């Protein structure tokens, strides 16, 4: 019963559409009607600016962290805490509160790692910004980070860790399939602030 409640909680937390709520509540803007139409932090930056983008990204990270922290530190369950983090990421991608049209899993996946493996989170943050500095593509940098995370876990010898991070990597790559096509065509937007 506790495990089921945690799964429902993780999904509902992941389903919080930060970009939609911040956009509508403070900017009278539905970001799904602008830019890429995505609810994540990147489209929020492009549509609403730096302040809103930072707030939405932080909220999306926190969703993954909360879903992972609670079973990791506060509630005794026999299931691996990463299970609940992955459920939160599913909620982020297919949110109950936004007609099941959500983000691309990057920030919430990062929040899961922040809770479970802070060292890996910091390493991936460095990888992301190094890639972003080099390529100017947020999407490509996100995908590179996901692949590096999976490669890192292969050296851990923890097959549960490897499996869950592998699932998160697949989520990120799958959700960026349109970005991959645009990168190939040379039409993917680049950032100009780094």
- The answer, yes or no, to whether residue 194 has pLDDT greater than 80, is no
Q: Which residue reads 């999976």 in tokens?
A: 150
Give whole-number Cα distances, 56 to 21, 31, 75, 132, 162, in Å: 9, 12, 27, 19, 28
Tens-digit pLDDT profile for residues 42-75:
899 989 999 999 999 999 999 999 999 998 888 8
For residues 83-106, average pLDDT: 94
Confidence class of residue 142 from pLDDT cuts 50, 70 and 90? very high
Please give the pLDDT value at position 37.
83
Give whole-number Cα distances, 159 to 5, 121, 138, in Å: 26, 19, 29
Task: Determine contact, residues 13/67, Cβ cutoff 8 Å.
Answer: yes
Please give the pLDDT value at position 83.
95
Please give the pLDDT value at position 95.
95
Tell me, yes or no, if the pTM score tops 0.75.
Answer: yes
Confidence class of residue 1 from pLDDT cuts 50, 70 and 90? confident
Please name which of 165, 155, 6 lies closest in space to residue 72, comparing C-alpha atoms.
6
């Amino acid at each position: 019963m506790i495990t089921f409640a945690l799964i429902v909680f993780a999904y509902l937390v992941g389903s919080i559409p930060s970009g939609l709520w911040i956009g509508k509540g403070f900017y009278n803007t539905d970001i799904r009607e602008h830019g890429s139409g995505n609810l994540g932090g990147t489209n929020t930056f492009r549509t609403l600016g730096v302040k809103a983008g930072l707030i939405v990204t932080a909220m999306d990270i926190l969703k993954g962290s909360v879903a992972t922290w609670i079973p990791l530190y506060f509630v005794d369950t026999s299931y691996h805490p990463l299970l609940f983090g992955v459920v939160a990421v599913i909620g982020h991608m297919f949110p109950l509160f936004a007609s099941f049209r959500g983000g691309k899993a990057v920030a919430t996946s990062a929040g899961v790692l922040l809770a479970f493996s802070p060292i890996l989170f910091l390493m991936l943050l460095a990888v992301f910004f190094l890639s972003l500095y080099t390529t100017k593509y947020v999407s490509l940098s996100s995908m590179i980070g996901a692949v590096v995370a999976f490669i890192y876990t292969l050296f851990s010898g923890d097959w549960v860790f490897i499996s869950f991070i592998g699932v998160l990597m697949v989520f990120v790559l799958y959700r960026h399939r349109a970005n991959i096509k645009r990168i190939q065509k040379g039409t993917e937007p680049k950032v100009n602030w780094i």
